[in-house]
Chains A and B, each alone.
Chain A
Amino acid sequence: MKLIVRRAGERPGDGTWVELRRAGDEFEVRIGERVYHLDRVETNGSIRSFLIDGDQHELSIRPEGEHSYVVSGSGGMEVVEVLDPLTHLAEQSRADAGSAAAHRVTAYMPGRVVAVLVQEGDQVIAGQGVVVLEAMKMENEIQAESSGIVERILVEAGQPVEGGDALFEIG
């Protein structure tokens, strides 16, 4: 089985090929130039133990939607997206055509919108504050991740939001 994986933050169209194969009780995995043989067991819930040449690695893996996985280990956590080759190809051609869709920014935690700092149609630069969100008694400025035009603002001041709710779109 061939899949494409990419870390959160990598762009659509990017990614690394991974080839997975059963080899007896183990898995043979090719990633880039490297080949690993690993034993994988599930212990409780999301907990996985991997043995690679005798080295033990404990990770926790939780699916988040259809294609994303939150992987946690002793050093923290990261989100990994897994795509089948067809989906990846479709993404690549979209990216090549340059028709990048508007970039949508979501609330990373539940809270309340304190202020909206720009208007639809405004030009913003990467890093510019767009919405101020209050959570846990602290105000946090949600910034534009890329430069562009604010195409839509989806919230207004005073409104409560859940984590994952869309806040604004930059085209």
Chain B
Amino acid sequence: MVASETRRFSKVLIANRGEIAVRIIRGLRELGIRAATIFSDADRRSLPVLLSDEAYPIGPAPSLESYLRAEAIVELALEIGADAIHPGYGFLAERAEFARQVEKAGLELIGPPSTAIAAMGSKLESRRLMIEAGVPVVPGGEGALADLDEATALAESIGYPLMLKASAGGGGKGMRLLREPGELAAAFRATRSEAAASFGDDSVYIEKYIERPRHVEIQVLADQHGTVVSLGERECSLQRRHQKVVEEAPSSVVSPELRARMGEAAVRAAQAVGYTNAGTVEFLLDPSGEFYFLEMNTRLQVEHPVTEMVTGIDLVRWQIAVAQGEPLAPELRSIEPRGHAFEVRLYAEDPFRGFVPSPGKIERLRLPEGPGVRNDCGVYEGDEVSIHYDPMLGKLIVWGRDRREALLRLRRALEEIRIEGIRTTVPLYRALVDDPDFVAGSLDIEMLDRKLGSGELEPAHVSQLADLPLIAAALEHGLRQARASATPAPAGGRRGHWREAGRHEALRGRR
């Protein structure tokens, strides 16, 4: 690899929206770099636009006609004289073709090289590279099985329990769990014929079944001079339908020794694809402490703040520094987590009605403040949550000296926060901070779906006093009627308590 010279960016174009655009604007501003953003027709009034130095329209509301217009975005960057493009996460962030276009235009992508994105973007290719690099992967799963004999032999070498999967399946379909050898023959025949009927492809493969795994990922940072460091793990086991909702660092089950081993594996994974910039290597961790490579996210992660809170490292700042050709500071080689951090993702969704989206106007927004609390939020009070994009409004992050303190702080912050006018996932998190398994830190990737399905997690009451919402509404109605009748004082109108009360309240309200 040819080490590029260090240069200074004077302007960066952010090819994203929402909270991550805000996060990147903050990082650029602190380095004295001009922040340019793009916006769709739906986002002209959005927070990133209000905070940016320059903002340019990129098309109509649908993502395909705006934030995903790779060519137009690269052209815009050239036109406005930007030195680099920050893709954030989602949208174009993991599209190798976009990275190639940026490289071809002579611009810097604040992210990895297109070749690394392409290598990690292919499931088969990345698996092969990881095996070569000595990164543990889930045993099995390397291609279609010819017949039952081959399946039996492979099953014996991997060991039970196993998952038998249809190659064309996905999303939980075409899968069978096998606990012992006796189940293989019948399951093999059934999965094959089902796969043929459902997917028109009868190829099946087997993979080791990992019981109650955790999702633990390692943050890596790599410069253009060959240095790759691990910044420790994030525990992301709390997911709903494979989407993360709560993250923490460090993981309560990762010892310093395991952290070192996972860190080394992650660094090897990054090196295997010639990685630069910030990236995340995701692993499944089983209860015995064995871990297996899942995939590498070749971008900044939504949950990067928990790592920032426990390491004191500004990841966006380092992303920019690395893209400018700067070497990683020597102290980054020996980072140990300090304290504990949680992040909860604030989605405009109703968690107790199957997470249906809840777009609309944010009538009220009060974000929690005080010691150890950080808000990475992409919206403001009065803002409209659009139907066109991901429903994440922002993230609430807390830090404490240990997990217990961080948890108490999270509970406190969730009592303070108010997001009104739309439904959000806040009531779910309020229930979660009192859940014994969450408090104990005993998590697995199916826990949240399980607890929501069984009704174990239920919405808290609107008020601690169950009668109060009813009383409050009745008083509101009574006073409203009284005010209405008090305003145009009718000749000889009735004078009653309520009319007086209405006036009294109107005055108090104005005070």
A contact set with B: CB distance below 8 Å: 1, 3, 5, 7, 16, 18, 20-22, 27, 29, 31-32, 34, 36, 38, 40-42, 45-48, 50, 52, 55, 57, 59-63, 67, 69-78, 80-82, 108-111, 135-138, 140, 163
| Residues in B neighbouring A48, C-beta threshold 8 A | 472, 476
In chain B between 439 and 492, which residues have their CB closer than 8 angstroms to a CB of chain A? 459-465, 467-478, 480
Q: A3-B478, A77-B423, A136-B357 are in contact. Are A45 and B472 (CB under 8 A)?
A: no
Q: A22-B497, A46-B363 are in contact. Are A80 and B469 (CB under 8 A)?
A: yes
Which of B430, B473, B508 touches A42 (beta carbons < 8 Å)? B508
Complex CA gap A55/B390 in Å reads 39
Report yes or no: B358 in contact with A109, Cβ–Cβ below 8 A.
Answer: yes
| Residues in B neighbouring A67, C-beta threshold 8 A | 477
B97 at the interface (CB under 8 A from A): no
From B419, which residue of chain A is reached at the shortest CB distance? A72
* Chain B interface residue number, banded: 35 or more
B29 at the interface (CB under 8 A from A): no
Complex CA gap A67/B480 in Å reads 11
Report yes or no: B459 in contact with A163, Cβ–Cβ below 8 A.
Answer: no
| Residues in A neighbouring B501, C-beta threshold 8 A | 22
B contact set with A: CB distance below 8 Å: 348, 356-360, 363-364, 387-391, 414-415, 418, 420-421, 423, 426-427, 430, 459-465, 467-478, 480, 497-498, 500-501, 505, 508-509
How many whole Å from B62's CB to the nearest CB in chain A?
10
Which of A20, A34, A45, A109 touches B475 (beta carbons < 8 Å)? A20
Report yes or no: B388 in contact with A136, Cβ–Cβ below 8 A.
Answer: yes
Report yes or no: B463 in contact with A73, Cβ–Cβ below 8 A.
Answer: yes
Q: A40-B475, A42-B505, A135-B387 are in contact. Are A71 and B469 (CB under 8 A)?
A: yes
Q: A62-B363, A163-B360 are in contact. Are A18 and B509 (CB under 8 A)?
A: no
Which of A38, A76, A138 touches B471 (beta carbons < 8 Å)? A38
How many whole Å from B66's CB to the nearest CB in chain A?
14
| Residues in B neighbouring A60, C-beta threshold 8 A | 363-364, 418, 420
19 intermolecular pairs with C-beta atoms under 8 Å apart = A3-B478, A5-B474, A18-B470, A29-B474, A52-B465, A55-B465, A57-B464, A62-B421, A69-B476, A72-B364, A72-B418, A73-B463, A76-B459, A78-B469, A81-B473, A109-B358, A109-B387, A135-B357, A163-B359
From B474, which residue of chain A is reached at the shortest CB distance? A18
Q: A3-B477, A16-B470 are in contact. Are A59 and B359 (CB under 8 A)?
A: no
Complex CA gap A33/B508 in Å reads 30
| Residues in A neighbouring B476, C-beta threshold 8 A | 48, 61, 63, 69, 82
Complex CA gap A27/B469 in Å reads 15
Report yes or no: B387 in contact with A59, Cβ–Cβ below 8 A.
Answer: no
Complex CA gap A69/B462 in Å reads 13
| Residues in A neighbouring B498, C-beta threshold 8 A | 1, 22
Report yes or no: A109 in contact with B360, Cβ–Cβ below 8 A.
Answer: yes
From B416, which residue of chain A is reached at the shortest CB distance? A74
Report yes or no: B387 in contact with A34, Cβ–Cβ below 8 A.
Answer: no
Report yes or no: A27 in contact with B475, Cβ–Cβ below 8 A.
Answer: yes
| Residues in B neighbouring A63, C-beta threshold 8 A | 476, 480
From B462, which residue of chain A is reached at the shortest CB distance? A73
Q: Which of A21, A61, A81 has the most B CB atoms < 10 Å from its CB?
A: A61
Which of A3, A7, A22, A109 touches B357 (beta carbons < 8 Å)? A109
| Residues in B neighbouring A70, C-beta threshold 8 A | 420
Which of A20, A41, A50, A110 touches B474 (beta carbons < 8 Å)? A20
Complex CA gap A36/B139 in Å reads 65
Complex CA gap A21/B348 in Å reads 39
Which of A27, A50, A61 touches B473 (beta carbons < 8 Å)? A61
Which of B358, B464, B478 touches A1 (beta carbons < 8 Å)? B478
Complex CA gap A3/B500 in Å reads 19
How many whole Å from A90's CB to the nearest CB in chain B?
17
| Residues in B neighbouring A40, C-beta threshold 8 A | 472, 475
| Residues in A neighbouring B477, C-beta threshold 8 A | 3, 67, 69, 82
4 further A-B contacts with Cβ under 8 Å, apart from A40-B472, A46-B363, are: A3-B474, A61-B472, A76-B427, A140-B356
How many whole Å from A9's CB to the nearest CB in chain B?
12
Which of A41, A72, A76, A111 touches B387 (beta carbons < 8 Å)? A111
Complex CA gap A86/B480 in Å reads 18
| Residues in B neighbouring A61, C-beta threshold 8 A | 472-473, 476
From A68, which residue of chain B is reached at the shortest CB distance? B473
How many whole Å from B385's CB to the nearest CB in chain A?
9
Q: A59-B472, A69-B476, A138-B357 are in contact. Are A78 and B462 (CB under 8 A)?
A: yes
Q: A75-B427, A136-B359 are in contact. Are A20 and B463 (CB under 8 A)?
A: no
| Residues in A neighbouring B364, C-beta threshold 8 A | 45-47, 60, 72
Complex CA gap A82/B348 in Å reads 27
Report yes or no: B471 in contact with A73, Cβ–Cβ below 8 A.
Answer: no
Report yes or no: A31 in contact with B471, Cβ–Cβ below 8 A.
Answer: yes
Question: Ordered nearest first, which 10 A-B pairs have the shortest CB separation?
Answer: A75-B460, A136-B357, A80-B473, A82-B477, A69-B473, A76-B427, A42-B509, A71-B469, A73-B462, A18-B474
| Residues in A neighbouring B387, C-beta threshold 8 A | 109-111, 135-136
Report yes or no: B459 in contact with A7, Cβ–Cβ below 8 A.
Answer: no
How many whole Å from A10's CB to the nearest CB in chain B?
11
How many whole Å from A23's CB to the nearest CB in chain B?
10
Complex CA gap A48/B420 in Å reads 14
Complex CA gap A27/B502 in Å reads 12
